[in-house]
């Protein structure tokens, strides 16, 4: 095993001795505030994997064609709701900011029910060739977001910087935005560095950040430290053990600015296991179980009579902080977290998930 890796799953796998005496826990059904569902024949499979464990999700708009206008947004929501009709599942819709968006376009999208706008720098990630060259050209549209209280979600990387420095290079843009639009709620998505955690902590409460499950357990060693593992390749790229530790500290701290967004991003096996493989890690079916393992390890305190500290902190990260930032009503329904060993399938619908063929010791299911 590479020296700086804690071996994905090794720390989270069952250790035989510790399993049997654990209790089962109930949480409100959680929210995933950053999710890719794609379009077309696979949408229903991906959507149901999420709806089996989450009550709401903020659906990303980087489909082909993108969700950038009101008609596309309404139609995409209809498709997701239809696919998930067996579940009480609410898709929260976002739209992709386009270079020609003005205030009027934003008003039309807000009227169609968009809760968030997503900024993709051109060329930064999957399907971002039509992204934005210079964020400042969009200031009239961003002014309208502030006016309508639509949240701005940022893919916070500067694609012109060295790949491991792209997030850090973007952070001055975030500070500029906060200064210029003091009432705008902004989410820095899938933070991957200690730098981003530090900067978010210095900013006002209008700024939040999502953290994925995979950035809490992977480092660059899990991607390229031994044999190349394309299923651990995503944007922003997973980074150093210090970065991962800073993310774990932020996620498990209870700080209301940090909340869960899976960035679960399915790409079929052939699109990952090839030259020029796509960026994205599929985590929807495993994310909650992985998070439970991380929080259990990192929050050993006693807690109160009802729930141990790690469960209370997990509940804040997964069910409370994001919902509060997005001003969502209380979730309807519950999730049961059971101390039950299970083997993660090698693939779901031809997509290799995080922890494929590994054992996890918590199982999450909606009740
Ligand atoms: C995402 C995807 O595949 O759509 N990929 C990723 O590596 N995270 C896009 C994104 O969120 O950057
Ligand atoms: Zn994403």
Map out the domains of the chain as residue ranges.
Answer: 10-366
Give the Cα separation of 323 and 325 in Å (integer): 6
CATH superfamily of 10-366: Metal-dependent hydrolases (3.20.20.140)
**CA 107 to the chain's CA centroid:** 26
H or E segment and range at residue 173: helix 166-180
* Beta-strand relationship, 207-211 and 186-188: parallel
Of all ligands present, the nearest one to the C-alpha of 59 is 2
Which residues line ion ligand 2, judged by CB < 5 Å? Answer: 263
Atom of ligand 1 nearest to the CA of 62: 4
Q: What is the pLDDT of residue 306?
A: 78
Q: Which listed residue (263, 298, 304, 350) is catalytic?
A: 263
> How far apart are the two ends of the chain, measured CA to CA in Å?
39
Q: Which of 33, 62, 352 to mutate to test ligand 1, by most ligand atoms within 8 A of the CB atom?
A: 62
H or E segment and range at residue 49: helix 43-51
- Phi/psi of residue 270, nearest 5 degrees: -65, -25
Band of pLDDT at residue 336, cut at 50, 70 and 90 = very high
Angle, to 10 degrees, between the axis of helix 70-83 and the axis of helix 103-111? 30
Band of pLDDT at residue 21, cut at 50, 70 and 90 = low
Q: What is the pLDDT of residue 305?
A: 67
What strands lie across the sheet with 258-260, from one edge to the other? 31-35, 56-59, 90-96, 116-119, 151-154, 186-188, 207-211, 258-260
Task: Tell me the average pLDDT across 178-200.
Answer: 98
Residue 261 Cα distances to 54, 284, 331, angstroms = 11, 10, 16
> Which residue has its alpha carbon closest to ligand 1 atom 5?
280
Question: Could you tell me if the CB of 265 is within 6 A of ligand 1?
Answer: yes
Per-residue pLDDT tens over the stretch 243-290: 999 999 999 999 999 999 999 999 999 999 999 999 999 999 999 999
> pTM higher than 0.85, yes or no?
yes
Residue 111 annotated among the catalytic residues of the structure:
no
Question: Could you tell me if the CB of 32 is within 6 A of ligand 1?
Answer: no
Task: Report whether pLDDT(315) > 90.
Answer: yes
């Amino acid at each position: 095993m590479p020296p700086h890796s804690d071996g994905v799953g090794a720390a989270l796998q069952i250790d035989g001795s510790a399993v049997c005496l654990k209790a089962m826990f109930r949480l409100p059904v959680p929210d995933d505030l950053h999710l890719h569902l794609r379009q077309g024949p696979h949408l229903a499979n991906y959507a149901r994997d999420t709806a089996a464990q989450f009550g709401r999700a903020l659906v990303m708009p980087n489909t082909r064609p993108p969700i950038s206008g009101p008609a596309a947004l309404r139609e995409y929501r209809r498709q997701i709701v239809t696919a998930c009709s067996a579940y009480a599942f609410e898709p929260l819709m976002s739209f992709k900011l386009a270079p020609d968006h003005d205030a009027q376009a934003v008003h039309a999208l807000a009227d169609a029910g968009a809760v968030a706008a997503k900024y993709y720098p051109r060329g930064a990630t999957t399907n971002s060739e039509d992204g934005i060259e210079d964020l400042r050209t969009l200031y009239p549209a961003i002014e309208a977001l502030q006016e309508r209280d639509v949240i701005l979600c940022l893919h916070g990387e500067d694609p012109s910087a060295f790949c491991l420095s792209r997030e850090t290079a973007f952070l001055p843009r975030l500070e500029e935005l906060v200064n210029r639009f003091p009432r705008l709620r902004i989410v820095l998505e899938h933070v991957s560095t200690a730098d981003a955690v530090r900067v978010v902590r210095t900013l006002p409460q209008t700024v939040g950040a999502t953290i994925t499950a995979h950035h809490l357990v992977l480092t660059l060693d899990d991607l390229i430290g031994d044999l190349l593992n394309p299923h651990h390749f995503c944007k922003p790229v997973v980074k150093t053990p210090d970065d991962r530790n800073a993310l774990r500290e932020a996620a498990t701290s209870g700080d209301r600015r940090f909340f869960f967004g899976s960035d679960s991003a399915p790409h079929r096996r052939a699109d990952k296991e090839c030259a020029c493989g796509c960026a994205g890690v599929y985590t929807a079916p495993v994310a909650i179980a992985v998070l439970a393992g991380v929080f259990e390890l990192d929050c050993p305190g006693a807690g109160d009579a009802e729930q141990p500290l790690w469960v209370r902190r997990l509940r804040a990260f997964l069910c409370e902080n994001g919902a509060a930032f997005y001003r969502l009503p209380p979730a309807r329904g519950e999730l049961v977290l059971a101390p039950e060993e299970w083997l993660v399938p090698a693939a779901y619908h031809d997509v290799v998930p995080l922890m494929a063929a590994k054992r996890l010791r918590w199982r999450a299911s909606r009740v």
